Chains A and B, each alone.
Chain A
Amino acid sequence: MAKKNVNYISAKESRKISKENRKITKEFEAKRNRKHIPEEEYITKMKNPENCVEFDDVHTYFFTDIGTVKAVDGVSFNVPQGKTVGIVGESGCGKSVTSLSMLQLVQRPQGQTVSGEIRFNSGDECVNVVNAPASKMQELRGNKMAMIFQEPMTALNPVFRVGAQIDEVIKLHRPEMTDEEVKARTIEMLGMVGIANKEGVYSMYPHELSGGMRQRICIAMALACEPKLIVADEPTTALDVTIQAQILDLLRDLKDRINSSIMLITHDLGVVAEMADYVVVMYAGRVVEKGTAREIFKDPRHPYTIGLMKSKPVVGQKVDELYSIPGSVPNPVNMPDYCYFKDRCDMCMECCNGEFPEEYYISDTHMVRCYRCKEEGERHE
């Protein structure tokens, strides 16, 4: 028999898979939609109270008709209070799904966070976002944690004035405020994000604003309730370099002013180097390297991180030919059982045929999942 084509499944198989999927997702949905979820199920304790967020072995899967896609497969990292954590990786590596899991915004019922804990320290209590009921999430989203999306035009509602859209957030989370107070607060926010004509912009529609202005509105909306955590999913990818510099400056400035943490998702290493205190490098749903920004940029260890750094041309450094990582990301439905990067890696060793490498800590903060760091990791321990 010819080798089975892994990219093709028959209709019969597909039906079988979707039937099983329905069973699994139904179970998850039933659990989530219970009327009274006891508080003990989602109120927990932080491992380290200094952290704002702790991701602990989070798995987010998508149950599709061609198989289960493990978009986030055992991700663990911490976001300390008042710090910025940058998450980098190619498209499809699971960085956006990680951030959506944080806010419980993953497309349901196909997408489910199946195991792990995301502990969020909202100041007064610690919530495990994975198990939190919808009512609790509504209380947190926009209030204690907020998200800035990549494409500001699609994130804003085109039929409402921008002022009204920001008002809505404040009204929902600060019911004690009067309408005048809400409007005053919105205008104050617009001023804070650097919009000169704030009263005028308050009553404009999104299409009347430029891309940079729209992103400012999204930031104003996210920060309106002074959240503890800002999740910024590629906030500057759709913008020009000059506008990007303005927006990054603004985010940095506002973060310090309201003392919150930022989870910055991007594929631009330059942006990460400028903004982040800690960096997490993701590949095919897993964290392959994490550490402080200095460790990652000065001493990258994982071949993927090294490849990423070499493949981006840098102004002021002339090279004849850019390095390019050979091959492409493996099929997310049929992940290999060895290191996911092995087929593209030019520093492979014999032991790479074994299981996916463990987490090796080569310093207290610098973690690498590669066999090349095994000895050093053991020495450190």
Chain B
Amino acid sequence: MSNEKDYILEVNHLKKYFPIKGGFFGGVTGNVKAVDDVSFKIERGTTMGLVGESGCGKSTTGRTILRLLEKTDGEVIFNGEDVNKKSKKELRDLRTKMQIVFQDPYSSLSPRLPIGEIIGEAVREHGLVPAAEYDEYISKIMEECGLQEHHKDRYPHEFSGGQRQRVCIARALALNPDFIVCDEPVSALDVSIQAQVINLLRKLQKDRGLTYLFISHDLSVVEHISDTVGVMYLGGLVETGKTEDIFANPLHPYTKALFSAIPMPDPDLKKERVILEGDIPSPANPPKGCKFHTRCSECMGICKEVAPEPKDMGNGHVVRCHLYDDK
């Protein structure tokens, strides 16, 4: 194995705080720490899955990477360049290389534009293909995403959820990106349609060598599509590693609880279940020490005082938990 791995994206100590305005003069009274010190790397041509409960900061991480939201602190290095140091003009060119597919295909497509225009608008804006080849190019992209050429003049309301999600994917692909953030792309779809969209994403990855950051709360989907997985809790990554390692041998108590909560389609399987008590704490006022200690079944004295440092358990499997301090 070569030591020099080709990382397309490096996220170092990324932070994103949303200020809470309040008080008599409307001053800032606190911060919602949506993303708090997140670091990870994604190799070119692979998929990283990001899982966690709602409100844990998965989507904010995705958007901050693309600079759809301005970061508070930290750095995002894409293709060897810091995204946050780009000027507006440079960022415009960069946007063709990194794209996003949103969760809800019903609200992310303009109802007033025909499909062909939705997919092609950015291509023309950026002048990616000569005007003469434009039509042909759009048709080719649509075909690749399982849409037919005569759909070009139709409007989004004429399509079903699965087809709309294909349009969203085609729109992202039309710019020929290297990296796509998939923000819960299949959560709003039915099971059978979900399978179609997942298969499409995998096929495109194979054909074009794409890199995905796949954000989802559905663990079975993440296991299916990802090479590496990051588990988030309350704005921080608690565990990262190869998919096989994490699913076969989850280390962090939160990951264990999360996995044991997945319902299995097998009536004979009655497994031991770790049920988490209570709800996720407010990110405006996270608990001191380890953020998970309020719900953790193996909480120790130190957990309430000191936040755990990331610890490499071998093979790139990193966990943040005091249970593994002395190992």
Compute how far the CA of A293 lies from the CA of B270 in the bound complex, rounded to whole angstroms. 14
**B20 CB–A CB distance under 8 Å:** no
Within residues 32 to 55 of chain A, which ones have a CB less than 8 A from any CB in chain B? none
Verify B263–A210 contact, CB threshold 8 A. no
Verify B267–A315 contact, CB threshold 8 A. no
Quote the shortest CB–CB distance from B263 to chain A (angstroms). 3
Verify A241–B192 contact, CB threshold 8 A. no
Within residues 224 to 270 of chain B, which ones have a CB less than 8 A from any CB in chain A? 224, 247, 257-269
**A349 CB–B CB distance under 8 Å:** no
**B4 CB–A CB distance under 8 Å:** no
**A328 CB–B CB distance under 8 Å:** yes
Verify B264–A274 contact, CB threshold 8 A. yes
Known: A315-B219, A315-B223. A240 touches B192 (CB 8 A): no
Closest to B196 in A: A324
Verify B199–A324 contact, CB threshold 8 A. yes
Known: A91-B190, A241-B261. A321 touches B279 (CB 8 A): no
How many chain B residues sit at the interface, stated as a range, is 35 or more
Compute how far the CA of A91 lies from the CA of B247 in the bound complex, rounded to whole angstroms. 30
Within residues 300 to 322 of chain A, which ones have a CB less than 8 A from any CB in chain B? 307-309, 311-316, 318-319, 321-322
Known: A213-B279, A294-B268, A297-B266. A240 touches B54 (CB 8 A): yes
Verify A241–B258 contact, CB threshold 8 A. yes
**What sequence of 0s and 1s flags, for each residue 175-194 of chain B, a beta carbon within 8 Å of any chain A beta carbon?**
00000000000000011111
Q: Which residues of B contact A272 (CB under 8 A)?
A: 265
**B160 CB–A CB distance under 8 Å:** yes
Compute how far the CA of A35 lies from the CA of B198 in the bound complex, rounded to whole angstroms. 56
Verify B191–A274 contact, CB threshold 8 A. no
Quote the shortest CB–CB distance from A216 to chain B (angstroms). 11
Within residues 250 to 306 of chain B, which ones have a CB less than 8 A from any CB in chain A? 257-269, 273, 275-276, 278-280
Verify A242–B223 contact, CB threshold 8 A. no
**What sequence of 0s and 1s flags, for each residue 190-209 of chain B, a beta carbon within 8 Å of any chain A beta carbon?**
11111110110010000000
**A348 CB–B CB distance under 8 Å:** no
Q: Which residues of A contact B198 (CB under 8 A)?
A: 313, 322
Q: Which residues of B contact A307 (CB under 8 A)?
A: 192
Closest to A311 in B: B195
Known: A245-B261, A273-B263. A312 touches B219 (CB 8 A): no
- The chain B residues found within 8 Å of chain A, CB to CB, are 53-54, 160, 162, 190-196, 198-199, 202, 217, 219-221, 223-224, 247, 257-269, 273, 275-276, 278-280
